[in-house]
Structure 1
Amino acid sequence: MTAAANPLDLTGRVVLVTGGGKGIGKAITERFLSAGADVVVCSRSEPEELPSAGGRTAVYHPADVRDPDTAFATVAFIEEKFGRLDVLVNNAGGAPFTDAATVSPRFSKAIIELNLLGPLYFAQAAHRLMTAQEGGGSIVNISSVSGVRPSPGTAAYGAAKAGMNSLTKTLAVEWAPKIRMNTVIVGLVRTEQAHLHYGDDEGIAAVGATIPLGRMAEPDDVADACLFLASPMSGYVSGAEILVHGGGEMPAYLRAANSESDHAPVN
C-alpha cells in the first residue's frame, strides 16, 4: 500500500498574500513557501528582505490594496507569470488608536478602504481567474476579534472587520462551488511591534496571562490556520470563522469578582 499524499503539500499551487512581507503576513507567506507553493506578496513598498522558507523565496509585486486597479493588476501579473491563482490571503490591514468622537472623516474612510474594500477588490480580481481554472480556489480573509466584540479606540477598524466577516459568508454562498471563502478571526498577536502596544516583555507576559491559553498568539499560529483553510484538508469548509484567539478574553466581571475575593475574609 502506498502512502497517502500529504494534504498540506501545496507544490504547484500559487498563493497571493496581501501585506505578506512583515508581521503576520510574513509568517503566512513563509508557511506557504514551506508547503511548496509559489507565493506572491504585495504592498505599497517592497520589504527590505523578501520572505524565504524551504529553499523558496516570495515574489514581490507593488500594490496599494485600497486601489481596485492595483488589485486587478496584481492578479493579472500572477496570471502572466504563473498561469493560475489557487489561494488568496487577504491579510493587509490594521489601524492606529484613535478617538471616535474627533477622528477625521478622511481617516475613517481610509481605514474602511484598507480593511474592508481592499479585501473585496482583491477577492473580485481573484474570482475571475479562480472560476476559470480547474480546481477553483480558496480565499482566506484575516479578520480580528475587534469585529466580533466592542473595539474602543479603533471603531472604524472594528466595523470594517465585522463587515469583512459578513462579506466572507455572503461570498461563500455566491461563489460556491468553485471558490471556498473562510475567515480567520485573530486575537492578540505577539509580532515584532508588540512592544509598541504592550510595553516590554513583562507587559506582554501580563497581557498573555489574561488569555485562557496563557499567552498571546504567535504569527505562526495564524499561519497554520491559513494553511489548513487553503489545503484539501478543509475541502468541505466554506463560510466558516476560525477563531485563533487562545480561548478569548477573560470577562471583566470575573476579574472583578476574583479581585474582590482576594480581599474577602476567610471563614
Structure 2
Amino acid sequence: MALTIDLSDQVALVTGGGRGVGRGITDRLRAAGATVAVAGRSVPDGLPGGVTFHAADVRDADAAAPLVASVLERHGRLDLLVNNAGGSPSVAAADASPRFSTRIIELNLLSALHLAHAARAALAEAGGSIVNVASLSGLRPSPGTAAYGAAKAGLVNLTQTLAMEWAPAMRVNAVSAGMVRTELFDEYYGGPEGAAAAEATVPMGRAATPAEVGDAVVFLASPLASYVTGANLAVHGGGEAIALHRVLGH
C-alpha cells in the first residue's frame, strides 16, 4: 500500500497563513484534507474553501488566548498550530531603533511562545503538534536583519525546549526555511537580476516555493512524523554558498 498523508481529521491554525510562505502552508494543508484557520491583521485576498480567517495581531501577547478561543469556537478542536507569522525589513544593527528591534522579536519569537502557551491545553487534548517556521537566518550570521536572525535562532531553541517539556502530550518541531520565492522575492533582492544572483548561491540553483515549505509542515504534522519532536527540518536547498568556498574553488 502506498504511503499517503491524510489530515482530514485535523484543524490547523496558521498565523500569517493568507500570503507568502503562509499561503503555501495553508494550501498544502488543505490539499492534505485539513481544515485551516488563518490569522492576521487584515483579511487576505482569495482564501480557498475550507479556510476561515481570524483577525489578530500576534505581536500582542493579549491576543493569543482570544485567537485560540475563536478557532475552538468555530471548529471545536485544534490539532496543529503553525507559527508562521514573521519577517523583517533590512536594517543595519547600528541603525535599528530599540522599538524596531523589539517589534521584530515580538513578531518572530514571542508571538510563537505566547500562542503555544495559549494553545497548549487544546493541542494536548487532541494529541496534536506545533510547527514553528524558523529561518536559515537563525542558523548563521544575519547581517542587515540582526534582530530577526536572533529571534529565529531563539525560535529553534524554543522548539527544542517545548518539545522536551510538553512531551508526550504533543510534538513540537521547526522548519528552517532558506530563500523562498514569494510574491515579494524579486523586490527584496532589488529586481529580477538581483534575485537571480541570490538564487545562484543556492546549491539547488533556485529558491524554494511556498508549497515546498508547506510540504515540510504537512509531513511534520502527519502520522509519518509520529516519533519526530524537537527537530529542526532545514528546507534551504543545501544552504548558501560561502564566499570563502568560492575563493577556494569549492
**TM-score bucket of the superposed structures, by smaller chain:** over 0.9
Q: Which has the larger radius of gyration?
A: 1
- Deviation per residue, 1:6-34 (Å, 9 max, x gap): 64111121000000000000010011111
Partners of 2:101 and 2:141 in 1: CA distance:
17
Answer whether contact 2:24 2:214 (CA < 8 A) is retained: yes
- Measured after TM superposition, the shift of residue 130 of structure 1 is 1.4
RMSD over aligned CA atoms reads: 1.5
Q: 1:132 aligns to what SS in structure 2?
A: helix
Q: Which residue of 2 aligns with 1:36?
A: 33
- Measured after TM superposition, the shift of residue 252 of structure 1 is 1.1
Partners of 1:7 and 1:82 in 2: CA distance:
24
How many residues are treated as equivalent by the alignment? 250
89-98 vs 64-73, which moves further: 64-73
Q: 2:150 aligns to what SS in structure 1?
A: helix
Answer whether contact 1:93 1:115 (CA < 8 A) is retained: yes
Q: Which residue of 2 aligns with 1:64?
A: 57
Is the counterpart of residue 224 in structure 1 residue 215 in structure 2?
yes
Answer whether contact 1:7 1:232 (CA < 8 A) is retained: no
1:107 to 100, 103, 106: 100
2:15 to 13, 18, 25: 18
Partners of 1:199 and 1:57 in 2: CA distance:
36
Partners of 2:92 and 2:205 in 1: CA distance:
30
- Which structure 2 residues correspond to residues 175-254 of structure 1 after superposition, within 5 A? 175-254=166-245
Q: Which residue of 2 aligns with 1:174?
A: 165
Is the counterpart of residue 45 in structure 1 residue 42 in structure 2?
yes
**Mind listing any 5+ residue stretches in structure 1 that lack a counterpart?**
260-267
Partners of 1:69 and 1:154 in 2: CA distance:
26
Q: 1:47 aligns to what SS in structure 2?
A: coil
Is the counterpart of residue 81 in structure 1 residue 74 in structure 2?
yes
- Measured after TM superposition, the shift of residue 184 of structure 1 is 0.3
- Measured after TM superposition, the shift of residue 257 of structure 1 is 3.1
Partners of 1:8 and 1:99 in 2: CA distance:
43
Identity of aligned residues (%): 56
Relative distance call for 1:192 and 1:104 in structure 2 (3 A) is same
Partners of 1:59 and 1:27 in 2: CA distance:
15
Answer whether contact 2:27 2:211 (CA < 8 A) is retained: no
- Deviation per residue, 1:79-129 (Å, 9 max, x gap): 112211001100000110112112111111101111110011111111021
- Deviation per residue, 1:229-256 (Å, 9 max, x gap): 0000100000001000000111211222
Answer whether contact 2:18 2:38 (CA < 8 A) is retained: yes
Partners of 2:135 and 2:151 in 1: CA distance:
10
- Measured after TM superposition, the shift of residue 35 of structure 1 is 1.1
Q: Which has the higher contact order (CA 8 A, sep 6+)?
A: 2
